[in-house]
Structure 1
Amino acid sequence: MKHNFFAVDLGATSGRTILGSFTTGGLELEEVNRFPNQLIETGGHFFWDIYALYQNIIDGLRIVAQRGVNITSIGIDTWGVDFVFVGKDGHFLRQPYAYRDPHTVGAPEKFFERVPAKQVYDLTGIQVMNFNSLFQLDTLRRNNDSALNAADKILFMPDALSYMLTGKMVTEYTIASTAQIVNAKTRRLAPELLKALDLTEDNFGRFVYPGELVGVLTEEVQKITGLGAIPVIAVAGHDTGSAVAAVPALNKEFAYLSSGTWSLMGVETEAPVITPETEKLNFTNEGGVAGTIRLLKNICGMWLLERCRGDWAELSYPELIAEAQQAEPFRSIINPDEALFANPANMKEAIQQYCKETNQPVPETCGEVVRCIFESLALRYREVLENLNKLSSHPIKTLHVIGGGSKNDLLNQFTANSTGVDVVAGPSEATAIGNVMMQAIAAGDASNVEDMRRIVNGSVSLSTFQPQDKERWDKAYSKYLNVLEKYSKISQ
């Protein structure tokens, strides 16, 4: 009998629900509904609307119920680090803060005054980013936040949504690992860090790993949707964890680049890699599926272009790409990860400011801005890949680009040119595929991730980009490093 799996895949700008199945003919995916996920700015803070997200999930479940589709299970993945407070009565205490809220600016330094940075990294292996849950929670503690003070439980975003569906509270390993409160070696919550936050394990749900059962749909949800007691499975709750599970690699000699709002580049390892070098380079060890660790670096990805496009509504994506192709190569270069680009009021003006301060030509046209973004991302990818090569236990012969960015042929070619390795692009729906994969394994449709990856490799269309123009890109990389050094001196 064919199993149909319902995957909820929520990103920082949009969400969708997908029906997926693995058959003798390969992988089948069908989008059920798609919806925006917008930041809400009010009262000096940025929030997510978790109730709107829940309603969109319900709408997707209603659609499949009305079509008479038999669902085997449901899985939910989301972006990382954000969470919901739950009161003793089981109700949410307020909408969750968004990780782009500025209240955590400078938060790591304040936390490290009480717990040394080295101790935090030695425990978690997680790179320092001001919006990590550890620093969000500490900021709320210092601010005497009323929701935190009243909280009985803390649920990360996918776990909060599964709670709304099942009434069961869990803490899924991969999403919890992004919080910087999980011991990378024991793969459990770190008591030392919880104590520093005035929290205990009792403030979190039952700890689960990808493939475990969360619960079944509540009677309320069954009535609303017209479905029965469908199981909800804990997939890799962190969207990147799900995406990496779906990398269509046939051997271990690869790195991955999950390309979307964020670009996450890394390798799979069997154990955390926590050394003075990884700490210095600010690499992260996040939980993966099947006992793996994702040794990776977070890179500010298509967020740069997405924010610019908000002011370019009259131009389509293909038109912007075409203009970028016509723009002068390597005219202006930025560091995509500079704090200036985290959440500026106007992204184009922030890029122009960076170029002006580093004595570069200021990009004016849309094509010049887009070309600047793409070339800078490709050069940043080279820098990170060079570091990964030093840290990886195996050679990196291929870079698999997955996620929405895998459809960007221009950026993929730039990435191959910059890194000097073959870039294999696809699948664009990697996150949803990885979500479905873990549900399929839980249902007994496959025994392991390797088998699933072989099925994915044979089921999706992949494009390969080979390096070109090595000399020009080597020269551009030298310019990139010089620009970064110049801005570093200016901003000190």
Structure 2
Amino acid sequence: MKRVAAVDLGASSGRVMLGSVGPEVLELRELNRFWNGPVRVHGTLHWDLLHLYRSVLDGLHLAGRIDSVGIDSWAVDYGLLDASGRLLGNPVHYRDSRTDGVLEQVLSTISAAELYAVTGLQQLPFNTIYQLAAEELPADAATLLMIPDLLAYWLTGEIGVERTNASTTQLYDVSGRDWSDELISRVPARVGGARSGGGLPRRVFPRLWEPGDVIGTALPDETGLAPGIPVVAVGSHDTASAVVAVPAADDRFAYISSGTWSLVGLELDAPVLTDAAREANFTNEGGVDGRIRFLRNVMGLWILQECQRVWGDDDLAGLLRDAADAPPFAVLIDPDAPEFLAPGNMPARIEEHCRATGQDAPRSRGAVVRCILESLALAYRRTLRSALTIADRDVDVLHVIGGGSQNELLCQLTADACGVPVLAGPVEASALGNVLVQARALGEPFPDLRAMRALVRSTHSLRRYAPQGKPADWDAAESRLFGTR
């Protein structure tokens, strides 16, 4: 029996989980759960990385005997180290406004078609390439580390970037599976206060790790952990770990990794770099065992979470009951509209969005929640159908994993909208995928992803949602929201 610690950091909370893996055994126990969110300082949103690191150590100290540690987190954000390994400032949060207008500046130097041909990445204004173009890099910046790699560096003293998270930077060659020296050299950048004629400094981009590589061992004097505990590179982008734990029986599946964000897509053997994929804004991100996560980001439950925060209402079950009783398709919003990206008064933004689109604003909290969930289901439908057409695939089932798999109303609406059975669960998919990759690195006999998924399927309960309702109603709603059929 392997006992491993999975550090799983989401965009609103983090947790340290103890995983037990053995023949017909895959169990998780939560050791420490902690807040994670932006801290605004003089107008800039930062991550509180020292709080996160302290919380991670607190969880690891509760684990008792463990065989290894693995870390996954959200994508795109990074920290910069100087030559001595000192962190040069708190990492900036991807929802910060510093990247406003930067995408257009970069595209005036590197065309969207060129970027996509190399990276295969969805255009999002907060991708790492745009954050770096927006930042004035300190002259003494020596190393860029993505968030999981920064925490792993603090644990071990070893420097590198894990491949699945590197693939989200828009500076990674998805076909060549390495940093793109050409793109790095062409990004308009400011280094030490001066405009760099040679792009970003190549020296800051370190070696790449594969999921399953042993990064190093935890430093006992620094961490308070027992000597010799290996820190294993997992699918360090949390969605890469989550997709490992999709309990699929074959390849005819799609998935939604549902949480603060919703990642809607397919698992493929090779990237799809066609004009159709680029124009539909699909991303080709690295997965475990060299697979490609062909997906598109949809805003996700962030909008609902912000509404609950503003309302001061944490009774999600009650809100969902009221939403189930609210009239269907009364109000629809585009969940990916830019006004819903930043933290703020989300109910007021929904009202303003409704006025701008000629709709009456929802009049109750239940109606607001119904509006959010139906709009998300329509966005999932549109994204899934585009993915299947562009990748020339068919699927028999849609797996909903992550925290959103517990939202019964959203899962049923998703099945209805997409016209495909939904299998919901597991909830802690990212932590499970993290644990499974660690266990294989320690010698558990998982020859491939199918073997890992079989263990998830045999040890976790799933809930099935069959499509209901009238497809014509969803056709009409999609046409009304997006102007397409």
TM-score (norm 1): 0.94
Aligned-partner Cα distance in 2 for 1:286–1:163: 23
CA shift, 1:392, in A, is 2.9
CA root-mean-square deviation: 1.3
Structure 1 pair 80–460 and aligned structure 2 pair: CA distance change class (3 A): same
AA in 1 matched with 2:177: R
- Corresponding residue for residue 86 of structure 1: 81
Aligned-partner Cα distance in 2 for 1:156–1:363: 40
CA shift, 1:220, in A, is 2.2
Aligned: 1:188 with 2:189: no
SS in 1 for 2:311: coil
- Corresponding residue for residue 108 of structure 2: 113
Aligned-partner Cα distance in 1 for 2:479–2:178: 38
Q: Deviations over 1:15-36 (max 9, x none)?
A: 0000112222321111111000
Q: Deviations over 1:84-130 (max 9, x none)?
A: 01011210010000000011112111001111111011100001000
CA shift, 1:461, in A, is 0.7
CA shift, 1:420, in A, is 0.3
SS in 1 for 2:358: coil
Is 71-80 or 199-208 further displaced after alignment? 199-208
SS in 2 for 1:400: strand
What does 1:150-299 correspond to in 2, within 5 Å? Answer: 150-197=140-187, 198-222=199-223, 224-225=224-225, 227-299=226-298
Structure 1 pair 315–167 and aligned structure 2 pair: CA distance change class (3 A): closer
Aligned-partner Cα distance in 2 for 1:47–1:449: 36
SS in 2 for 1:413: helix
Aligned-partner Cα distance in 2 for 1:296–1:62: 37
Aligned-partner Cα distance in 1 for 2:159–2:312: 41
- Are the counterparts in 2 of residues 305 and 370 from structure 1 also a CA contact under 8 Å? yes
- Are the counterparts in 1 of residues 272 and 391 from structure 2 also a CA contact under 8 Å? no
Aligned-partner Cα distance in 2 for 1:478–1:150: 56
Aligned: 1:325 with 2:315: no
- Are the counterparts in 2 of residues 344 and 350 from structure 1 also a CA contact under 8 Å? no
SS in 2 for 1:481: helix
What does 1:292-441 correspond to in 2, within 5 Å? Answer: 292-343=291-342, 345-441=344-440
- Are the counterparts in 1 of residues 181 and 202 from structure 2 also a CA contact under 8 Å? yes
AA in 2 matched with 1:181: L
- Are the counterparts in 1 of residues 306 and 344 from structure 2 also a CA contact under 8 Å? no
Is 96-105 or 474-483 further displaced after alignment? 474-483
AA in 2 matched with 1:99: Y
AA in 1 matched with 2:98: H
SS in 2 for 1:71: coil
- Among residues 131, 151, 157, which one is paired with 1:136 in the alignment? 131
CA shift, 1:149, in A, is 3.0
- Corresponding residue for residue 483 of structure 1: 481
AA in 2 matched with 1:463: R
- Corresponding residue for residue 190 of structure 2: none
CA shift, 1:201, in A, is 4.2
- Corresponding residue for residue 94 of structure 2: 99
TM-score (norm 2): 0.95
- Are the counterparts in 2 of residues 126 and 286 from structure 1 also a CA contact under 8 Å? yes
- Corresponding residue for residue 195 of structure 2: none
Q: Deviations over 1:311-340 (max 9, x none)?
A: 222451111111111211110001111111
AA in 2 matched with 1:63: L
- Corresponding residue for residue 11 of structure 1: 10
CA shift, 1:200, in A, is 4.5
Segments of structure 1 that go 5 or more residues without pairing to the other structure are: 487-492
- Corresponding residue for residue 192 of structure 2: none
AA in 2 matched with 1:462: L
Aligned-partner Cα distance in 2 for 1:314–1:233: 39
SS in 2 for 1:149: coil
The aligned length equals: 472
Give the percent of matched residue pairs that are identical in Structure 1 and Structure 2.
42
SS in 2 for 1:100: coil
Aligned-partner Cα distance in 2 for 1:283–1:190: 19
AA in 2 matched with 1:480: E
